[in-house]
Amino acid sequence: MHFRTTNMIQKHDNRQSGFSLMELIAVMAIIAILAGTLAPNVFDAIRRARADAEIENLASIAKSIELSVLQNKTIPTATTSAWVLAVENSSDFNAQDIEFNRLNFRRRLIFDPRFFSTTDSTFPGLNQNQGLANLPNSARALLVSDMTTNVANIPNTAAEFNAVWDQTAGADLIESSDLKIQRINFSNKFHRVILSNQHANQPFYQLENGTTTAIPAAVGGSDGSITRFVLQDTKISLYAEPFPVGGKQLVHIVKSDWSMRYQTDGANWSWEE
């Protein structure tokens, strides 16, 4: 009789140790509510983290573009293969990580269509040889990345470029949590070099390993002169007259606006500031 009573108590205890169907439903409902509340916050946090990482990546790529320009004295075109290669050769990034963001959407480099002049035209790139006769008109570019799609082409007009740069109403590319824009301004990378000549013959100059270029001869007591705009850190070699066989007299690394004159002290001709 005692055994039967104990067995009944054990059976009763076993029934109380589990969850009822209603209790399980209640727990699942609470979990669903918590998941519904937390999930958007988690997704937003992931989205913000990706956006922040992309901002840093674009800044690093932009610095690599600028470094490439100063190292190679060239500015690549907006053709993907051209600018990606320039960055790859001047950074630790590989081509895949330069061209595509972390969600595998293609980035785009867009140049101001009035980079060199006051009329719209496709940016042709720059391979510095003898230097530029004129200061670039608007030496700017946009590096754009979208976390939801490949970056679309925009109209090749100064109006549209300025709208995107300034984020004014009507711009085709608007910055958001998904679309990021890194602005690049090359204006301070160009410096004015003025070379004048007191001699009746022509001395000459050379930028890096570019073409040697004669400087106009003095005429009627007035110096001959030439003005060029060159990229920062350009090596310029100055030669004595006559062009093109005079000897090298001076080598200078351009860090800022600079001027030199080929002149005489009454006995010898040399380059002097």
- The C-alpha atoms of residue 181 and residue 204 are separated, in whole angstroms, by 43
* Residue 22 in tokens: 């209603």
Burial 85-124 (b: 16+ CB within 10 A, else e): ebbbebbebeeebbbebeeebebbbbbbbbbbeeeeeebe
Helices (H) and strands (E) in the chain, counts: 5, 13
| Phi, psi (rounded to 5 degrees) for 249 | -115, -25
pLDDT less than 50: residues of the chain:
1-6, 8-9, 11-12
* Residue 230 in tokens: 């060159």
- Give span(s): CATH 2.60.40, the chain: 190-272
CB 122 within 8 A of CB 113: yes
**218-252 residue pLDDT tens:** 999 999 999 999 999 999 999 999 999 999 999 99
So what's the pLDDT on residue 28? 78
User: What CATH class has 190-272?
Assistant: mainly beta
**111-149 residue pLDDT tens:** 999 999 999 999 999 999 999 999 999 999 999 999 999
| Phi, psi (rounded to 5 degrees) for 231 | -75, 150
CB 110 within 8 A of CB 142: yes
So what's the pLDDT on residue 1? 44
